[in-house]
Amino acid sequence: MGIKGKFITFEGSEGSGKSTQIRMLAAYLESKGKKVLVLREPGGVRISEDIRDILLDIKNKNMTDICETLLYMAARAQIVEEVIAPALRRGTIVLCDRFLDSTVAYQGYGNGVDVKFIKEMGRLVTQRITPDITFLFDLSVKEGLSRRGKIRDRIEHRSLIYHNRVRQGYLKIARAEPRRIKIIKADRDREVIQKDVCAHLKRLLKISL
């Protein structure tokens, strides 16, 4: 594909603080003169944002696990084609709040959808684009959900048992790919966490952080 940019993804359970870390990192990289694009999944482009609304609407409680999985994949296919692939070809640093690992963790380990099926479909919808580095912000389920408050979306409304399966799924994914996925303890001050993130990026981006 002639990729010139870097693809950095941020993963984690609910309330882990990854969105805050993305904003902090984007501001820092821009201060260093880097061209940065910040995206979120599902979403990022109109079609994917419309799918996001369907996925997170608490009224859609009868959605099947397979339907949920396919909708996440459809939203991902659209943002990859419209935004992610072109940006990487231009040499942009793309920071993405969730990517394929989320579907493996939430729909695979969380809901019980076949992980092999998810990964095989993932190769198609991602155009085989793989993150250069992934930060997994790990936090206890109870603490993470408490940070979200009382207003929760359809996924956040699920049981602690479900969310614990998701967390353990993430850790299993990380153990299988330690070179790509860096586990970041998310129960610390955000400035301390950001220093950890930047330390991991020194070699990847070849700049003094």
Q: Give the domains, in start order, of the chain with CATH numbers.
A: 6-205 (3.40.50.300)
pLDDT given for residue 148 in this prediction: 80
Report pLDDT digits (tens) over 92-143.
999 999 999 999 999 999 999 999 999 999 999 999 999 999 999 999 999 9
* Angstrom distances, CA of residue 13 to CA of 80, 146, 154: 22, 12, 14
**Distance between CA atoms of 39 and 42, rounded to whole angstroms?**
9
pTM above 0.75, yes or no: yes
DSSP secondary-structure letter at 130? -
Report pLDDT digits (tens) over 25-54.
999 999 989 999 999 999 999 999 999 999
Classify residue 135 as exposed, middle or buried by CB count within 10 Å of its CB (0-12, 13-18, 19+).
buried
pLDDT category, 1, cuts 50, 70, 90? Answer: low
The amino acid occupying position 174 is A
Q: Report the SS3 class of residue 95.
A: strand
pLDDT category, 172, cuts 50, 70, 90? Answer: very high
The answer to whether 68 and 55 are in contact (CB under 8 A) is yes
**Distance between CA atoms of 181 and 179, rounded to whole angstroms?**
6
Q: What average pLDDT is seen over the chain?
A: 95
